[in-house]
């Protein structure tokens, strides 16, 4: 597939710079950028290169822009550029170029113009990571859904992505679970719904230990026995993990999320002691009051925040496990990059372990991808009326239940099976889109009415736009077949073609700052452009090249919406 429009214009602009009167004053290595225009009133694309260069040559930016335009050759791509404001260079694409671009996009059914990465990477994506023996709650939404979308996009761009669910399957809570299993377990409840039963016994034991010192000691002893390899305790622990995975997998299946690996904390146990010894031997870590710590005297933000990697009682910590995990991912999985999709409060933790990894000579690109919180309408952390954390399964159930009511009202003639399937797609899609349409660092309000609305920047609106693209072919009675070359005659056609071509620029941009909301915003703008086209340009009433072009635009819009929503982890439906 050919380069994106922005790339083509940038190449022509950079070719013009050495031919301008300011060639001798160009900063070494300067490369002009071209971006999508913020206001289409002034053009399709724009560049601020003249304003940057004006500071270098100490001339008026509009004068510099005029000189660049004089040397610029738009060829078959654009009309002569125009100057706007303080010195922006604006480009308007030629209709013939857009027609050719539309034809190219139709032919590229797999990638829809999106260029693959020039240097594909092996990326380990660490996201979701719930704790064993506990249900996933609303707090897991952001990591799970953002992480899944980023892995889908990276894979689409040609990277090798390994999704690793680093579950919490080790730690002090297992002492309580083991004691509860032996003394409080309801086997019948465990068989019917294991995670709630494991959570029940954990909560009950935890509550008892607050007033019972001897029980606290019993739980500690159970944990010591587990860590020492006691066969009975290991067997119970392994069954807890297996049962938990079954329960978690039901959620992931419903969300259409897959992991390549489930390497929990326990996987790295044997690596922790040697890791600490290697840090001591390299003089990266040192003993302090019986504990082993890493200090950061040369790091202003970390100078008074040492990382504890082994407690004075010999116990290891999350930092120790995460450092061992980095080793494994680089040495065994051959990771070029490791992404951690984790809540913003963990910033200090990752600052510390990334700094230690660097001191150890690790070369992989380590990325902490933080996110904010989900709030209720009262702008406080989302909780149930009783004050408990909202469970993720309950959120998904309610989303589908609410979507089913909407589907039933609008399409009472659909079969019950059709209604349920559509409700599942819309309900789950609405939860995902409500998350992904926000900038990940934003604290957003969880509002059912907003996320399920058929108008506005919502999943139902986008899915409905896709349904409209398919409805035209149901009326036609056949699938799309390209006949002849496109002929763009109306402004709404040109606007839609341009927006479709910009899919190729949008998808790679998501990974520049790990912002799936960039893609969500694009898809919303595409749906708006399509609805404008739908209102302005009759399709089946036309004939000849006009009709064929408009059918092509319907087909391509459907493909891009389906692909783009798929990259967000959202399914589409042919009817709604």
The predicted structure's pLDDT at residue 376: 84
Tens digit of each residue's pLDDT, the chain (576 residues): 468 999 999 999 999 998 888 777 788 888 999 999 988 888 999 999 999 998 888 889 999 999 999 999 999 999 999 999 999 999 999 999 999 999 999 999 999 999 999 999 999 999 999 999 888 988 899 999 999 999 999 999 999 999 999 999 988 889 999 999 999 999 999 988 889 999 999 999 999 999 999 999 999 999 989 988 899 999 999 999 999 999 899 999 999 999 999 999 999 999 999 999 999 999 999 999 999 999 999 888 998 999 999 999 888 999 999 999 999 999 999 999 999 999 999 999 999 999 999 999 999 999 999 999 998 888 887 765 556 778 899 999 999 999 999 999 999 999 999 999 999 999 999 999 999 999 999 999 989 999 999 999 999 999 999 999 999 999 998 888 888 899 999 999 999 999 999 999 999 999 999 999 999 999 999 999 999 999 999 999 999 999 999 999 999 999 999 999 999 999 999 988
Residue with tokens 């910590």: 317
Residues 196 and 82 in one domain: no
Beta bridge mates, 125: 163, 339
Task: State whether residue 168 is helix, strand or coil.
Answer: strand
Cα–Cα distance between 405 and 401 in angstroms, integer?
7
Beta bridge mates, 46: 35, 90
The predicted structure's pLDDT at residue 387: 61
Domain final residue pick, 191, 225, 255: 255
CATH number, domain with residue 23: 3.30.1360.70
DSSP state, residue 139:
T
Residues 218 and 325 in one domain: no
* Strand extents, DSSP E, 344-501: 365-369, 374-375, 444-445
Cα–Cα distance between 390 and 503 in angstroms, integer?
36
Residues 250 and 293 in one domain: no
Domain range for 347 = 138-163+262-369
Domain final residue pick, 203, 224, 255: 255
SS (H, E, C) 48-117: CHHHHHHHHHCCCHHHHHHHHHHHCCCCCCECCCEEECCCEEEECECHHHHHHHHHHHHHCCCCCCCCCC
Cα–Cα distance between 194 and 203 in angstroms, integer?
14
- H/E segment holding residue 178: helix 173-183
> Rounded to the nearest 5°, which phi and psi values hold at 568?
-90, 0
- Distances in Å between the Cα of 170 and the Cα atoms of 145, 242, 263, 333 are 24, 14, 12, 22
Residues 200 and 218 in one domain: yes
CATH number, domain with residue 275: 3.40.50.620
pTM for the structure as a whole: 0.93
Residues 156 and 14 in one domain: no
pLDDT for 457-490, tens place per residue?
A: 999 999 999 999 999 999 998 888 888 899 999 9
Cα–Cα distance between 66 and 569 in angstroms, integer?
46
Question: What is the β-pairing status of strands 45-47 and 82-84?
Answer: unpaired
Q: Could you tell me if residue 536 is inside a domain?
A: no
Residues 342 and 282 in one domain: yes
Nearest to 101 by CA among 499, 534, 480, 469: 499
Residues 266 and 362 in one domain: yes
Q: CA angle at residue 427 from 424 to 428, to 5 degrees? A: 80
Q: Could you tell me if residue 386 is inside a domain?
A: no
> Rounded to the nearest 5°, which phi and psi values hold at 369?
-115, 90
For 319, the token pair is 């930092």
Contact call for residues 475 and 75 (beta carbons, < 8 A): no
* Strand extents, DSSP E, 135-266: 160-164
Residues 221 and 205 in one domain: yes
Cα–Cα distance between 311 and 313 in angstroms, integer?
5
The predicted structure's pLDDT at residue 1: 46
pLDDT for 197-213, tens place per residue?
A: 999 999 999 999 999 99
Q: Could you tell me if residue 421 is inside a domain?
A: no
Residues 235 and 326 in one domain: no
Contact call for residues 451 and 398 (beta carbons, < 8 A): no
Q: How many domains does the chain have?
A: 3
Cα–Cα distance between 349 and 300 in angstroms, integer?
15
Contact call for residues 571 and 565 (beta carbons, < 8 A): yes
Cα–Cα distance between 125 and 114 in angstroms, integer?
22
CB atoms within 10 A of CB 41: 8
């Amino acid at each position: 597939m050919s380069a994106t429009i922005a790339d083509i214009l940038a190449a022509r602009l950079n070719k013009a710079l050495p031919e301008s009167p300011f060639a001798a004053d160009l900063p070494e290595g300067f490369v002009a950028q071209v971006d999508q225009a913020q206001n289409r009133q002034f053009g399709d694309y724009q560049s601020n290169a003249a304003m940057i260069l004006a500071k270098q040559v100490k001339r008026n930016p509009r004068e510099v822009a005029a000189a660049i335009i004089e040397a610029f050759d738009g060829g078959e791509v654009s009309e002569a550029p125009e100057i706007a404001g303080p010195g922006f260079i604006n480009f308007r694409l030629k209709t013939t170029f857009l027609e050719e671009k539309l034809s190219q996009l139709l032919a590229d059914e797999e990638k829809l113009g999106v260029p693959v990465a020039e240097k594909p990477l092996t990326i380990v994506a660490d996201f979701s990571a719930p704790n064993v023996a506990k249900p996933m709650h609303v707090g897991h939404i952001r990591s799970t859904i953002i992480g899944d979308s980023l892995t889908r996009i990276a894979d689409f761009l040609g990277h090798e992505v390994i999704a690793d669910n680093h579950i919490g399957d080790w730690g002090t809570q297992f002492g309580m679970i083991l004691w509860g299993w032996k003394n409080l377990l309801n086997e019948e409840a465990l068989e019917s719904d294991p995670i709630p039963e494991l959570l029940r016994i954990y909560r009950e034991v935890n509550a008892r230990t607050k007033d019972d010192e001897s029980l606290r000691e019993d739980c500690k002893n159970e944990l010591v026995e587990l860590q020492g390899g006691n066969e009975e305790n290991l067997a119970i622990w392994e069954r807890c993990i297996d049962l938990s995975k079954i329960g978690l997998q039901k959620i992931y299946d419903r969300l259409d999320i897959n992991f390549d690996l489930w390497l929990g904390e326990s996987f790295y146990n044997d690596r922790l002691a040697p890791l600490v010894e290697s840090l001591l031997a390299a003089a990266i870590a040192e003993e302090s009051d019986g504990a082993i710590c890493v200090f950061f005297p040369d790091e202003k933000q970390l100078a008074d925040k040492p990382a504890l990697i082994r407690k004075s009682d010999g116990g290891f910590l999350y930092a120790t496990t995460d450092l061992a995990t980095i080793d494994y991912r680089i040495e065994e999985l051959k990771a070029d990059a490791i992404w951690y999709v984790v809540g913003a409060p963990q910033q200090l933790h990752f600052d510390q372990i990334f700094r230690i990894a660097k001191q150890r000579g690790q070369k992989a690109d380590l990325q902490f991808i933080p996110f904010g919180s989900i709030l209720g309408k009262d702008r406080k952390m989302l909780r149930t009326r009783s004050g408990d954390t909202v469970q993720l399964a309950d959120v998904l159930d309610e989303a589908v239940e609410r979507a089913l009511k909407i589907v039933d009202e609008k399409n009472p003639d659909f079969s019950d099976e059709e209604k349920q399937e559509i409700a599942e797609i819309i309900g789950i899609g609405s939860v995902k889109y409500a998350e992904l349409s926000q900038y990940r660092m934003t604290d957003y309000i969880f509002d059912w009415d907003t996320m399920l609305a058929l108008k506005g920047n919502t999943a139902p609106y986008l899915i409905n736009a896709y349904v409209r693209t398919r409805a035209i072919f149901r009326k036609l009675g056949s699938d799309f077949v390209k006949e002849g070359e496109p002929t763009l005659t109306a402004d709404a056609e040109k606007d839609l073609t341009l927006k479709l071509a910009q899919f190729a620029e949008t998808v790679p941009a998501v990974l520049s700052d790990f912002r799936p909301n960039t893609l969500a915003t694009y898809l919303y703008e595409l749906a708006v452009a399509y609805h404008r086209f739908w209102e302005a340009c009759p399709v089946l009433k036309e004939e000849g090249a006009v009709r064929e072009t408009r059918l092509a635009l319907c087909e391509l819009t459907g493909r891009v919406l389906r692909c783009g929503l798929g990259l967000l982890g959202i399914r589409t439906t042919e009817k709604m």
